Amino acid sequence: MEEVKKLKKKASAFSELVRLIARLRGEDGCPWDRKQTPESMRVYILEEVHELLEAIDSRVPAAICEELGDVMFQVLFLTHIFEERGYFDIGDVARRSTEKMVRRHPHVFGDLKVTGAEDVRMRWHEFKKGEPNHDKTKSLVDTVPRNLPGLLRAYRLTERVARVGFDWPDLDGVIAKAKEEWAELQQAIDAKDQNRIASEIGDLLFAIVNLSRFVRVHPDSALRDAIRRFENRFRYIEETLSKKGHRIEKASLEQMDALWEEAKQMEKKKPLVVNNT
């Protein structure tokens, strides 16, 4: 009985949001909301997803809840536009998602036996091949969306081709390739060939993404963590100088380097927390 009450409460909140969007898009609704199209919403959807990622990185449940709500609003709003045009409604979206997930989890909703999470991961592409709209003539590399951010697209590309055996036999080969690309970049820099430098930087980044995949570290997450460490350390430099009555613009590189190392040492003892408001 308690579970039924919870379900009704969730359904009520969801329905309220759907009705709100219908009101915003109605004849007496908001002029700005009524003006929006799927094309105009692309940028807002992207922004909200990135804000959600930032909230997840913050590990603050309240912030994650709020940003999830914003993403949900975008999804429901976009769905409502297509409903107005007679294509589909939120029920169709939910049903298709449910059907797809059931098809892609035959080890849960069928008789397939798997040995664990890694087995599921390796079989995932095979599950997707069973989709009704799967194009069997499409190249494997075409199954990775072109609009993905560069690091993520590179990661998915190497992951996909590795499933058919196009991969390094061991970690040593991946490391050797990264070193090779680094050496070629240095040669391009020495030659002052800008086009070649750009090309070699791309090759080096691709090699590093491959290395990340091999050691099971997602490159985007690793880069985000590195950026966060950089931001925290730099804020520490700013705050420390400010407390001493110094402006960072007037500080010497030696002073900033010393504070940077101080921040790094503090991180080893405990996570560095600074004011980022």
Express each pLDDT in 203-237 by its tens digit.
999 999 999 999 999 999 899 889 989 999 999 99
Per-residue confidence band for 119, with pLDDT thresholds at 50, 70 and 90 = confident
pLDDT band, residue 276 (cuts 50/70/90): very low
**Topology match between the domains 2-103 and 135-214:** yes
Q: What is the pLDDT of residue 178?
A: 97
pLDDT exceeds 50 at position 136: yes
Residue-wise pLDDT for 6-32, tens only, equals 899 999 999 999 999 999 999 999 999
The pLDDT, as a whole number, for residue 134 is: 61
Query: Is it the case that residue 271 has pLDDT exceeding 90?
Result: no
Whether the Cβ atoms of residue 219 and residue 212 lie closer than 8 Å to each other:
yes
Summary mean pLDDT of the chain: 90
Which one is the CATH code of 135-214: 1.25.40.10, 3.90.800.10, 1.10.287.1080, 3.40.50.2300? Answer: 1.10.287.1080
Rounded CA-CA distance 61/106 in Å is 32
pLDDT at position 190? 97
Instruction: Using pLDDT thresholds of 50, 70 and 90, give the confidence band for residue 275.
Output: very low
Q: Would the pLDDT of 274 be above 50?
A: no
What's the CATH code, domain 2-103? 1.10.287.1080
Residue 116 pLDDT more than 70? yes
Q: If you search the block for the tokens 């039924």, which residue do you land on?
A: 4
- At 148-199, the pLDDT tens digits run 889 999 999 999 899 888 999 999 999 999 999 999 999 999 999 999 999 9
**Residue 62 clears pLDDT 50, i.e. is over it:** yes
Of 14-28, 93-107, 163-177, 258-272, give the lowest mean pLDDT range. 258-272
Summarize the chain as % helix, strand, coil (round to 5).
Answer: 75, 0, 25
How far apart are alpha carbons 229 and 263 in whole angstroms? 10
For helices 38-58 and 61-84, the axis angle rounded to 10 degrees is 170
The domain segmentation of the chain, as residue ranges, is 2-103, 135-214, 219-269
